[in-house]
Amino acid sequence: MKRLLAIMVGTLAGLVFAGCSSQPSAEEVVVYVSEDQVFSEPILKDFEAATGIHVKAVYDTEEAKSTGAMNRLIAEKDNPQADVYWANEPIRAEVLKQKGIAAPCASPNAAGIPDQFKDPQGCWTGFSARARVLVVGKNVKAPPSSILDYTDPRWKGRGVIANPLFGTTTSQVAALFTLWGDEKAKDFMVRMKANGTELSTSNGESADLVAAGNFDFSLVDSDDVVNRMKQGRPVAMIYPDQRGDEVGCMIVPNAVVLIKGAPHPASAKRLIDFLLSKETERKLAFAECAQIPLHAGVETPPEVKPIEGLKTMRINYAEVARKMQDIQPFLKEWAGL
Amino acid sequence: MVKRAVLILAVAVLLVAGLAPVAAMFVRSLDVDGQFSLANYESLLVSGRQWTLLANSLALASLTTILALAIGVPLGVLLGRTDLPLRRALAVLFTVPLLVPPYIIAVSWFDVLGPQGFLSQISAVAAEHAAAWLFGLWGNVLVLTSVFTPVVMLLTMVYLKTVNPRLEEAGKLAAGWCRVLWGITLPLVWPGILLAAVLVFLLAFGELGVPMFLRFSVFPVESFTQFTAFYNFGAATAAAAPMAGVTLLVFALERALVHQGTVHIRFAPQGDAASVIRLGRYRRPLGLAAIALCFLMVAAPLVALVARSMSVGAYAEAFAKAGDSLVRSIEYAALGASLLAILGFLLGYMIQDRALKGWPTVDWLTIFLFALPGSVIGIGLISLWNRPATNFVYGSFLIILLGYVAQYAGVTSRITAAILGEIPPSMEEAAQLAGARWPRRVLLITAPIARRGLVGAWLGGYIFCLRDVGISIMVYPPGQDTLPVRILTRMANGTPELIAALCVVMVLCALVPLAVLGLLLKWRGTAR
Amino acid sequence: MNAVALDSVSKSLGGKPVVRDFTLAVPPGERLAILGPSGCGKTTVLRLLAGLLAPDGGSIEISGQLVAQDGRNLVEPEDRGVGMVFQDLALWPHLSVRGNLEFGLKAKGVRRSERQSRMARMLDLVHLTDYAAARPAELSGGQQQRAALARALVTQPKVILMDEPLSSQDRELRLELRTEITRLQELIGFTLIYVTHDLDEAFHIAARVVLMRNGAIEADGTADETRRHLTSTSPSWLP
């Protein structure tokens, strides 16, 4: 008994020591990341290798799986632990700005990014975007080409969409509200539901359901589709609403935010510069997420359409963020909550 | 004096770790735009939809509990008291779903019953019907039953040890085993069955990941949505508040149904081994039935998981991409379990001994904290501990341990209280009369006698800490995530093979200490 | 000075009076039996003496020291210098016989050499020297009894309390152990308070027998006096 106790105490002491003994780096930066870890982690490792600054990251999950990075940032507002927030869409960055958690930061690498994808006060800057696209089963004949196809009786019960309370789907719906006005947008949503559109928990799940043949199409992020295509799943990607009179596809850039009161401001600015560089955009274009560079002239692989080649939705992200808050009660009811 | 001080200290630890963060969140929920307001609570009552969601959650929890009891109690009897073949292996296998985040089990069932699942390779029509059935109340019930039946099974096995064999033997003189089990044994273990029902009900009621995946709207969604979509902590806490009401109701029911409550049990006299029920000609058919049930409930979804992970390089990639979080998970779970075992011992002692006034409140508090969503506790911990003065806690893994203590103290305290009931009071009294003060007699007499039970409490704490996501994801220090968190963060775009491999690794993490312990105990038994 | 003195002691358990106005003085070195039917309160009296319960009223003295009064214990059980053999013996299963004996000596801070000699003497007295390393589960019923007695005696208490220790033993063993208990008491000279419901046992072991009924003393006298009282009253609980 005494020997067993001694072994246990010794082991526990060892564990405590191991847990405590992480060597403090000379320089470090703490980044909270909402971009998928699979894609963001290699970029952060490259930053570490290039600068010697140790990166400590908090990664996020898909929105519907758990609470995560945004909630931590908001909860930690009075004593920030994070230096930088890497948002996977600018709406979250806007929310942080509205809550007074973002600080202005002017990076020289932001110069080449179009103003449409930056906060005028410099509280967030967009880079490496996804497009909101239609993932379509390869066997689907005469596939849909517009988000309005969600209301087309031809596709009754064959469409699925991620829960509009979370993530980029919320942003998309809020964007439609700003473009069309409340009445038309609500009507669209109601008719979409009446046309038998099902809800999934996430864009990834939507893509999987289409790949599995449960549904014919879904509105998801472009990286979800490219990912499934590279896995050899039977899906294709369609950029919706590209005709002259149509709204265009929504562009969802990543956004980087300097946290107000960041514990390591100098390292934070270096990381922001790194993330906003053309080289990072090139890497993210060639990665499985296949994201669209916002800087002009960045090399891209064949499956990534350059931004100049797309008809994009003309929206103001700040307005979309505000609208998103307004329509939450409607969305709750629509989603059945 | 020392006894009282130590027990009060244990309660204080529970209050600081668990009650304080929740109280902070509750205070926050009463603040709307800087003013005191009940608006967050009023909006809950006004919405008709909330009552529908509550009804859904109650239906899901009730059906899961009933099924888990219907399967788990007979299983516990078969595996714990009979000569069923392969009973030890089956007991381990049935426990496996408890070790994996329930969401993963739901995904595995989808892999079996979904349109492209294994069933579709046998019959496409059957797969179509199965898939439709899976996405609804009964699909959720199936998944949660397979996850939580081990709770009932294990508690039944523990409580069966409390039955004095003489009572059964007296019954055997007049009737067969079936009548004895039904008329004597099961009524005696009724408090344990009730405890299992309480735990399963609360776990199923609070479950969110599975219903969201299987598209069934449940009550916890409201709290979750307030966090994730609205970032409204006050409303999120208010939405979680009904958990307090549900726990109180369940508790009151438990105490009304069992006079002493489920914590106070007396084990069979020392040295009396319960007789093994010989199944005779039923041994083979019951054995086959248990194996078939194991296949249906456990093996089918897990085989799907393992099969998916069997790709070249999946495990290599798993260790490369998550090796560090795996090591941390084991470290934190081991430390957490040790803290919980000590705290659980003291709280369990206090509850079993009724050593302090207000022990029922402490008992209820531990169960209430167990039932609360991890995000509520997590945000509460952040608001309390994220200050410059306490950064040495918040910025380290200690905050995760605090979260474990808050959420899982109920597990170890209840297991310990049950085990301490094994010891006749005269053991400690004899030590007292021999001149030993409380610390000496507890450390040298009570704890050693209860050691197997304490190890069981440690293992229970280890399993819950290892599989924890709700607390860990909210408070882990940057760069120090645990394996379940890593699985979830990688799930969006990690390959299915990698995710499956990570889950298998997680199961092994939980099973290995069990196996090592089993071998150690066997070796010590032989050595003596 | 009495070894044990109870003065108007009362105790209720679960709202029911279990010991009522109990007054008893036991001189040092006496062998006293408390005899009575099940539920009459005799075990409660022992537990009050041991300090495992506090009296609701009255006072208790042990070796002239006031240990309980005014509804509370003034001296904790571990400091009363009282040894007890429980009905279930309460031998600690994880310790050997030697370990069971040594526990109390260590708790009282007795030095190693003194501990060794006391244990050796006690084991010899109870004829368990060859079983010092055995665990309680490895001993026979009679050996367990002797081990429990040795454990109670090894710390040299002034008073030994025994709560129906032989009730689960067969007749032959009971006879043997009764003799053993009497022999040890005469040899060592401790005060013995022995609780039983067995007439024969009470008369064999004790020089003085206290008869209890419904929480109170019904008779108190020598074995012969008590025997006569019982013959004249013929209580229903007697066989």
Tokens representing B520 are 């150690």
B255 by Cβ neighbours in 10 Å (0-12 / 13-18 / 19+) ranks as middle
| C36 closest CA partner among C232, C228, C226 | C226
| C149 closest CA partner among C115, C179, C171, C172 | C179
Rounded distance between C-alpha atoms, residue B460 and residue C96, angstroms: 31
Q: For B32, phi and psi rounded to 5 degrees?
A: -120, 115
DSSP state of B82: B
Rounded distance between C-alpha atoms, residue A30 and residue B476, angstroms: 13
Tokens representing C69 are 């009064």
Tokens representing B317 are 């990639």
CB contact under 8 Å between B451 and A223, yes or no, is no
| C191-196, strands of its sheet edge to edge | C82-85, C159-163, C191-196, C31-35, C208-213, C216-222
Interface test with B, best of C80, C86, C139 (most B CBs within 10 A): C86
pLDDT value, residue B305? 75
Q: Which residue of B has its CA nearest to A289?
A: B493
Q: Is residue A123 a contact partner of residue A102, using CB atoms and an 8 Å limit?
A: yes
Rounded distance between C-alpha atoms, residue B398 and residue B17, angstroms: 11
Name residue, tokens 């598209």.
B215
Domain identity same for B454 and B375: yes
Read off the amino acid at residue B481: D
- Write down the number of H helices and E strands in chain B: 30, 2
- Interface check for B375 against chain A (CB to CB < 8 A): the answer is yes
Domain identity same for B298 and B342: no
Q: Which structural domain, as residue segments, surrounds residue A135?
A: 130-250+325-335
Count of CB contacts below 8 A, B vs C? Answer: 66
CB contact under 8 Å between B430 and C90, yes or no, is yes
DSSP state of C72: E
Instruction: Give the predicted TM-score (pTM) of the model.
Output: 0.85
Domain identity same for A105 and A204: no
Number of neighbouring beta carbons within 10 Å of residue B57: 24
Of B269, B271, B436, the CB nearest to C107: B436
pLDDT value, residue B527? 47
Domain identity same for A219 and A331: yes
Domain identity same for B443 and B296: no
Q: Looking at the predicted structure, is the pLDDT value of residue C200 above 60?
A: yes
pLDDT band at B30 (very low <50, low <70, confident <90, very high): confident
Tokens representing A289 are 């997420």
More confident residue, C48 or A305: C48
Tokens representing A281 are 């955009």
* Residue A7 belongs to a domain: no
Q: For B521, phi and psi rounded to 5 degrees?
A: -65, -40
CA distance C214 to chain B (A): 24
Q: Where are the beta strands (DSSP E) in A104-186?
A: 125-137, 159-162
* Residue B166 belongs to a domain: yes
Domain identity same for A120 and A258: yes
Residues of A in contact with B450 (CB under 8 A): none
Give B97's Cβ-side CA count (13 Å radius): 34
Domain identity same for B81 and B139: yes
| Measured CA distances, C178 to B42, C158, C162, C174 (Å) | 75, 20, 12, 6
Rounded distance between C-alpha atoms, residue A127 and residue A316, angstroms: 16
pLDDT band at B115 (very low <50, low <70, confident <90, very high): low
Domain identity same for B265 and B375: no
Question: What is the Cα B66 distance to its own chain's centre?
Answer: 17
Helix (H/G/I), strand (E/B), else coil: C195 = strand
- Residues 266-305 of chain A whose Cβ lies under 8 A from any Cβ of chain B: 288-289
pLDDT band at B473 (very low <50, low <70, confident <90, very high): confident
pLDDT value, residue B270? 42
A221-266 residue pLDDT tens: 998 898 888 888 999 999 999 998 899 999 999 999 999 999 999 9
| C230 closest CA partner among C85, C54, C14, C37 | C37
Q: Is residue B484 a contact partner of residue B322, using CB atoms and an 8 Å limit?
A: no
Read off the amino acid at residue B97: P
Q: Is residue A83 a contact partner of residue A258, using CB atoms and an 8 Å limit?
A: yes
Q: Is residue B441 a contact partner of residue B428, using CB atoms and an 8 Å limit?
A: yes
- Interface check for B489 against chain C (CB to CB < 8 A): the answer is no
B4-13, B32-41, B131-140 — most confident range: B4-13
Rounded distance between C-alpha atoms, residue B343 and residue B408, angstroms: 10
* Residue A169 belongs to a domain: yes
CATH number of the structural domain spanning residue A41: 3.40.190.10
**Sequence-ordered list of residues with C-beta below 8 angstroms from that of B95, at least 6 positions apart, any chain:** B150, B153, B154
CATH number of the structural domain spanning residue B421: 1.10.3720.10
More confident residue, C195 or B40: C195
| Measured CA distances, B205 to A239, A297, B198, B377 (Å) | 41, 54, 10, 17
DSSP B271-318: T-PPPPBP-GGGHHHHHHHHHHHHIIIIIHHHHHHHHHH-STTHHHHH
| A54 closest CA partner among B479, C129, B400, C106 | B479
| Measured CA distances, B391 to A58, A75, B501, C234 (Å) | 17, 15, 35, 79
pLDDT value, residue B262? 46
More confident residue, B421 or A306: A306
More confident residue, B167 or C176: C176
Q: Looking at the predicted structure, is the pLDDT value of residue C216 above 60?
A: yes
Q: Which structural domain, as residue segments, surrounds residue B150?
A: 54-218+255-308
pLDDT value, residue A21? 46
Segments of chain A scoring below 70 in pLDDT: 1-9, 11-12, 14-26, 62-67, 337
**Beta-strand relationship, A159-162 and C216-222:** unpaired
Q: How many domains does chain B have?
A: 2
Domain identity same for B266 and B279: yes
- Interface check for C87 against chain B (CB to CB < 8 A): the answer is yes
Domain identity same for B261 and B392: no
Domain identity same for A245 and A162: yes
Domain identity same for B145 and B278: yes
Domain identity same for A192 and A331: yes
Domain identity same for A115 and A153: no
Q: For A255, phi and psi rounded to 5 degrees?
A: -140, 135
* Residue B180 belongs to a domain: yes
Domain identity same for A245 and A158: yes
Domain identity same for B303 and B410: no
pLDDT value, residue A12? 66
Question: What is the Cα A205 distance to its own chain's centre?
Answer: 15
Domain boundaries in chain C? 92-147
Residue where one domain finishes, among candidates B308, B323, B341: B308
B326-346 residue pLDDT tens: 889 999 999 999 999 999 999
- Return the H-helix or E-strand segment holding B44: helix B39-46
C71-123 residue pLDDT tens: 899 999 999 999 999 988 999 999 999 999 999 999 999 999 999 999 999 99
Q: Radius of gyration over alpha carbons of chain C, in Å?
A: 18
- Residues 34-73 of chain B whose Cβ lies under 8 A from any Cβ of chain A: 49, 53
**Proportion of chain C above pLDDT 70, given as a percent:** 97
- Interface check for B423 against chain C (CB to CB < 8 A): the answer is no
Residue where one domain finishes, among candidates B263, B278, B308: B308
- B199-203, B446-450, B515-519, range with the lowest pLDDT: B515-519
Number of neighbouring beta carbons within 10 Å of residue B26: 18
* Residue B335 belongs to a domain: yes
- A80-89, B46-55, B360-369, range with the lowest pLDDT: B46-55
Domain identity same for A167 and A243: yes
pLDDT value, residue A24? 46
DSSP state of A200: E
DSSP A215-260: -SEEEEEHHHHHHHHHTT-SEEEE----STTS--BPEEEEEEEEET
Rounded distance between C-alpha atoms, residue A294 and residue A302, angstroms: 16
* Residue A3 belongs to a domain: no
**Sequence-ordered list of residues with C-beta below 8 angstroms from that of A226, at least 6 positions apart, any chain:** A237, A288, A289, A290, A303
Rounded distance between C-alpha atoms, residue A47 and residue B148, angstroms: 44
More confident residue, A332 or C215: C215
| A288 closest CA partner among A128, A125, A112 | A128
* Residue B206 belongs to a domain: yes
- Interface check for C151 against chain B (CB to CB < 8 A): the answer is yes
Domain identity same for B294 and B406: no
B263-315 residue pLDDT tens: 444 444 444 455 778 888 889 998 999 999 998 888 877 887 787 777 768 88
Residue where one domain finishes, among candidates B263, B282, B308: B308
- Residues 56-95 of chain A whose Cβ lies under 8 A from any Cβ of chain B: 56-68, 70-72, 74-76, 78-79, 81-82, 95
pLDDT value, residue B261? 46
Read off the amino acid at residue A33: V
A336 by Cβ neighbours in 10 Å (0-12 / 13-18 / 19+) ranks as middle
Q: Is the dihedral of CA C196, C198, C202, C204 positive or negative?
A: negative
Rounded distance between C-alpha atoms, residue C49 and residue C41, angstroms: 13
Q: Looking at the predicted structure, is the pLDDT value of residue B184 above 60?
A: yes
Max Cα-Cα span within chain C: 55
Domain identity same for B303 and B336: no
Q: How many domains does chain A have?
A: 2
- Interface check for A9 against chain B (CB to CB < 8 A): the answer is no
Rounded distance between C-alpha atoms, residue A167 and residue A169, angstroms: 5
* The 3-state secondary structure of C117-145, one letter per residue: HHHHHHHHHCCCHHHCCCCHHHCCHHHHH
More confident residue, B378 or B242: B378
Average pLDDT over chain B, rounded to an integer = 83
Rounded distance between C-alpha atoms, residue C7 and residue C59, angstroms: 5
**Proportion of chain B above pLDDT 70, given as a percent:** 92
